[in-house]
Amino acid sequence: MNKGLITLLSVVLVSAANLGYAGDWNLVKNIKRLESVAPDYKVDTAIDKKFLDVLELTEKTKKDAEVYEEAKRIVDIAALKSSKYMDSFQYYMLVKSTMLSKAGTEPDYWLGLLKANEKGPHMLAAWLVHMKSLPKNSPDIRKDAQQLVDWIKAQKPEIKVRAPEYAGNMFTGHKPRSNFAEGDYPKLYTLSYYKATVTPPAGFQEDETYITLLDRIKDGHEDIMTEMSAIYRKLGKRKEASNMLYQLAMIKVKAKDFQNAKTLLDDAVKQNPENTAAVKERDRIKLELTYQSLAPVVPVAPVTPVAEEKPVDTSSAPVQEGSVK
């Protein structure tokens, strides 16, 4: 292949890459499909129709590279904020922001806007997409996980939540779904169903289940670890339940609460007799408790009650001379 052809091919590929990001906006159809998860999605108010008009005219009048910046202008228009389409639009832009070559804090911006409608169906997916946009070892991942768990605990179990869904494969990598104009409608679940599963439901990845969120923040949190052991036990994950009970027991051991530690270790071994660490620690605790039972009891010296002084009766005492009667 000659040098001129290689140069031409490189230019074509670079141009295609630059156009590929912004060329598939299809704003109106994408936003309407995302909004289909809402119970009132079939009824458009006057402001909803105006919102869709703005999106359509934006694509007709703006260059592809300008659409992203124009989106920030749209979400800042007070009159449009009351449209039912606003949170679907913000979620769509959050996903698009993660695909920028220099995303920086752009995903933070869109997630911050979505938090204004914290009971919306896109909130769970938005948190998960935001977490995936962070560097692999970022301390902010744990921060996001803690905030997301707090949000989940504050919601009613029957609220509806969306899966983020992903496109791609093991060779090209998986990215959050950004094309809702085509394919299946967004996947919707109740929050209680999401919380009760260890195997990720369709549209979620392995590290996006409720139990993995808890796992990210469990260190030193007995309440979180107790919740995790209960979930594992309920779902018949005996090995996982045993491991969590063992970790809880070690917290008790560190606090020298040997009796409660033994109870937890007994349960851990019952859940999984092959948990050798739990078996070994349980036997060690048994020995410690045996020593404690053999220790001589130090007698407590009886406390001698202090005699109460009786008040002196002066009513019949003789009146001294010179005293006032």
Main-chain phi, psi angles of 160, to 5 degrees: -95, 140
- Measured CA to CA, the distance from residue 208 to residue 229 in angstroms comes to 18
Report how far apart the first and last C-alpha atoms of the chain are (Å, whole number).
133
Over the chain, what is the mean pLDDT? 86
Q: Give me the pLDDT at residue 21, please.
A: 41
Is 76 domain-assigned?
A: no
Is 224 domain-assigned?
A: yes
Is 236 domain-assigned?
A: yes
- pLDDT tens digits along 227-245: 999 999 999 999 999 999 9
The stretch 149-165 carries a mean pLDDT of 95
Is 225 domain-assigned?
A: yes
Instruction: Give the CATH number, domain containing residue 288.
Output: 1.25.40.10
| pLDDT higher than 90, residue 65 | no
Tokens of 61: 């009048």
Is 143 domain-assigned?
A: no
Percent of the chain with pLDDT over 90: 67
Is 247 domain-assigned?
A: yes
| pLDDT higher than 80, residue 31 | yes
The stretch 293-318 carries a mean pLDDT of 64
For 18-32, 69-83, 303-317, which range has the lowest pLDDT when averaged over its residues?
A: 303-317
pLDDT-derived band at 300, boundaries 50, 70, 90 = low
More confident of the two residues 173 and 91: 91
CB atoms within 10 A of CB 262: 21
More confident of the two residues 298 and 38: 38
255: left (phi over 0), alpha (psi -120 to 50) or beta: alpha
Percent of the chain with pLDDT over 70: 83
Tokens of 112: 């911050």
Is 255 domain-assigned?
A: yes
Query: pTM of this prediction?
Result: 0.77
Total domains present in the chain: 1
Q: Give me the pLDDT at residue 75, please.
A: 96
The domain of 239 spans 218-293
- Residue 168 pairs in a beta bridge with 174
| pLDDT higher than 70, residue 320 | no
| pLDDT higher than 60, residue 10 | no
Q: Give me the pLDDT at residue 216, please.
A: 93
Is 271 domain-assigned?
A: yes
